[in-house]
Structure 1
Amino acid sequence: MLSLMRKHATSWLIKTFMAVIAVVFVFWGLGSFRERRAARYAEVNGDGISASEVARLYDNLVEQARKQYRDFLTPELLQRLDLRKEAVNRLIEERLAIQEAVRLELGVTDDEVRAQLQKYPMFQRDGRFDRDLYLRVLSANRIQPGEFEAQQKRALLIEKLRNTIESMAVVGEAEAFDLWRLEKEKAVIDFVSFDPDRYLKDTTVDDKEIEEYYAKNNKAYEVPEQARIGYINYLQAEFAKQIAISPQEIQDYYNWHSEEFQQEKEVHARHILFKLAEDATQEQVQSVRKKALVVLDLARKPNADFEKLAIQYSEDTSAPKGGDLGFFKKGSMVKPFEEAAFNMAPGEISDLVRTPFGLHIIKVEEVKEPVVQPLDEAKGQIEAKLKAEQANDVAFEAADNDVEDAMQGRSLREIAQARGVQYVESPYFNESGPVPGLEKVKTAASSAFSLEIKEVGPKLEAPNGYVVIQLLEKKPAAIPELDSIRGRVATDLKKEKADQLAEKKAAEFIEIVAGGKDFETTAKEMNLEMKVGGPFNRSGAVSDLGINPKINMTVFALNSPGDLVPEPIKNRGKLLVVRLKEKIKPDKQEFENEKKEFMDRMTTKQENDLFRDWIEAVKDQAKIEIFQEI
């Protein structure tokens, strides 16, 4: 999931700034208190980045993540995405790009800015740009026209810079074929695995060995320095109880965010899938197509039961349900499938549709046309959203004010009593965290360790508000006595011995086979099961083994069937001995069929790589200072 999100990451510069409207409109009113508190977050060659800029972009990235991951966006995933660091990095690279564009004397005219503004549908009436509407939209979102147009100018400047750099990307046909061949070539392997757990029963340890192991490795058992804090939570939900949203605020939000209340078109469809690999040969395609056409004819006969045909012929997991996919919106299915389904009427049956999964026959059962959610239905969610935004600002200010009070000498306990909120003291924790009770505030532990005893730190952002902490105590790091952890040390020593025994057995196996003995015979004599893995390509997973770059790298370095990888490969806690069974080279005719699409893809990749390399080179030479903890 995370890798998909980061795919084509180099295009962020233009996307971030051309989508600036979305940033400020989604978080309407965000700037009020934060702008007044604006502080310099970082500097790039002397050019400042304010805390409010970081906050706005961070909030926009969170909103994008919510739309992308929907119900899958847990607090844990949000923490792993590290969107605040992403926001800071993007703003740093945006500053660098603009500075370099100016140095290269690239410019953007007022006419180009005007042309860009006229492209936004939200500023159009009857398909034409309406300046009065433009000014009203900006005013409703507390944005000055000059500020907004300056942002657009920066976006266009970055776009020109990117186009200039990417114009140097060239991929020749010979280079493309070599890359395509490397991408498509596949391998099949034989392998045996040596599991250290298998040898645990053959290992013993005595007291002397345990003592020697502990003496040599006692640093590994060290309990790190620990700390304990007191803290106050500033929860949006609590502050929201004090906030009232007026009917006019709800009406205004509904008017200016109409796209949020448009329920998209949905299609209810069934399908019959005939599986076909993306890299299938022409013969394979024709064979599957012939079978699919027979079923298509059956499906189009009068009174045909599509559901029964799907149960009988479909190779998809939906077959037991008669191929039923339920209702889905645009963006839920692969493009060819979606385009076909959304252009069909209820009861209609498609021609054969090719996707990366194979050939589909689609039947549309129902269509829900797009509708606009009425204000009466939407006002509850609007009120909740506006209340949450305003509550966040109030919580932000309350936390700031309490930090200032603490700096005057008041303890957090006293501040909590005066405010009438709960004050909590944590148990001990180490610097890597998490802080018990604040598991979702990932910076809490490191922030605590940066404080002096009794010092109150700056407010920290939490998933549903803010938190202010005070360091109460610290305990130094210590190594426990052997007697208190003897069982753990003994287990670790046995595991080490089992690992060594597995390594010895794997090395013996390689030596025997390298000496001329048959791989499979040796496996049987050592009571090992020989398995087959593949076919797989240079970046693909191996059946039963998963993804392990070391396997791919070493196997594709071998030349002939029977060649042995000279050393065991660690994989999922086991050691593998691997030999090449077969290499499968792709048919050059397939390249001719895919050449244009592949060369376009390689050109795009080279463009992205060029721009990314350029940005990294500029960043290496820049003076970048970050003043606040990310």
Structure 2
Amino acid sequence: MLQALRDKSSGWIATVILGLLTIPFAFFGMEQYLFQRTETFAAKIETPPAWWSDAPDWWVVRKAFWSKDEITADQFRSAFEDERQRRRQQDGENFDAREFESIDNKRKILEQLVDQRVMRLASERDGFVVGNAQVIDAIQSIPAFQVDGKFSEQRYRLALASLAPPKTPTQFDQEVRDSLKQSFVASRLQESAFVTPSEGQRLLRMLNEKRDVSYVALPAPTPDTAPVTPAEIASWYKTHPNDFRAPEMVTLEYVEINAATLPPPVAPDERALQARYEQEKARFVEPEQRLTAHILVKVDAGADAAAQKAAEAKARDLLAKAKAPGADFAALARQNSDDAGSKDGGGDLGWVAKNGQMVKPFEDAVFTTAPGTISGPVKSEFGWHIIQVRELKAGREMPFEQARPELERMLVETDRERAYNDLTGALVDQALKTPSSMKQVADVAKLQVQRVGPISRNQAQGVLANQAVLRAAFSEDAKTRRNVSDPIEVAPNHSVMIRVVDHTPERVRPLAELGPQIVAAVRADRTRKAAEAQAEAIVARLKKGETLAAVAGEKQLTVETAAAVQRGAPSPDPAVSEAYFQVDAPAAGKVSPGKAQLPNGQMVVFEVTKVIAGQDSDMPAEIRAAFLGQLAPRLGDQDALSVSKDQRKRMKVTIAEDRL
């Protein structure tokens, strides 16, 4: 029997069948063995190649030919925290941490990141290249890398090294290059957008439109107190899972290294002070000073040529009078100077040092004028100056005894910083030896290990609320490896080292602990729907021809009227004012009814009785010009958004919402 089976399985038909069975295993089964890996992306974007734009979305084709980019969970979290900081600064006390942590807001921020990556992939696919010169210009224009308005290589490298985690110039260059790629199309669209005069005129008229309205504020809805059944609770929980998410939490151990709390250094001895004095002699020099007075003939930098010449002529006349035998410079200054700060004192400016406190043309003129003489006129951004130098005080070295307090402070600071750096280095060395033990790291410097948690990002306080610390605490590496971190700087000579002890991912809270909260949510929803239904019923009556006054009288409500209401008017609320402009303009002899909700849940029913067409002349000319100037870039932004949406349709975007 076995021989018969062998004979039947060795024919050409069996070979064909076996080959057909192998194909699906090769493409689908082997994928599970050959490409197993732990996915960490929050979003993945894949796009077909330019030479095969309609390539099918088959696994083997996608793996072989499509380009891919991923937004990791850490990259999303970093962008999310940056946006949190921006919103917190913008909103101040009105910042709603719970609303910011909502899944809808997370999706919104992730969608922005996806759009950026989509545009970068599209730029790369279509052959857009960012040159080295563009990258260099972009980096050198960043204020954080500049000293006195000029790019500083040293500041650049120090700033990169202080990031958490630190970055090399090569890494940062690539980030800037990628950023320029993804903004390339959008920036060009923004720069090329324009508004025609007729478009601008129509928009201005629409924005300046006004409406006459009558409205009634309905009584605040009666809170719902009816029983909520278990079935309603279960249904609400099922349909609103994102309302009941518990945030991601970590429990931390940490030590704080602060130079200010280290034992005070030994007081520097005389030899050390003398040596430092010799090293810093250039610092302890009192500069030359000159006792100076001036007369200012003020003229604006933007004044026309005639005004400039008139001011110069006046200054030259005053110079001649000041140099005349027996002239009283102080009296001339009191009568003619336009400098309100020195005029009453006869133009006296006191002792002027060459230290940049005065504008450069004025300072240069002071130090080229011989003591006891008058010079000018000298032109500066303020106007024309006549300068009198009365005395000169030569520069001199500050004696050692006078410099001693500053020298002692400098040496103490140097010793304290050295001690801080030595201590930090010892802690890092121990962390490399025992990466999973914060206690052994802390024992090196007899520091106290502090423990806090579980805490979410919003609950961190003190040094742990620092954004660099939070990024490190909630990074994938810290949560999975549970090692002692590198020192994280929170201020100069002040850092912390942390270790994640426990981690709880974001989750939907179980129904069992949410009963009262869900009951309150269901009742609030009932109350809101009842108020909306009441308002909608009144709107329906108005549409059938009843008047708002008649309906209000029936319900003993007061009708308020407002004439020529503009968009965004604050009374009774900007949201209500905006609703006035959402309804159609009323036909002759008719009204256009509608409804809106106040922030407290109270409903407003209104009727638009008249539309007053806007005129572009209603807006001052300078404001109109500024508005139209800002409009073109906004239209360019809309063009860029449209292009992004179109490009996204050609790509495959995978969102991992569970990693947000």
| TM, length-normalised to structure 1 | 0.46
Bigger Rg, structure 1 or 2 = 2
| TM, length-normalised to structure 2 | 0.45
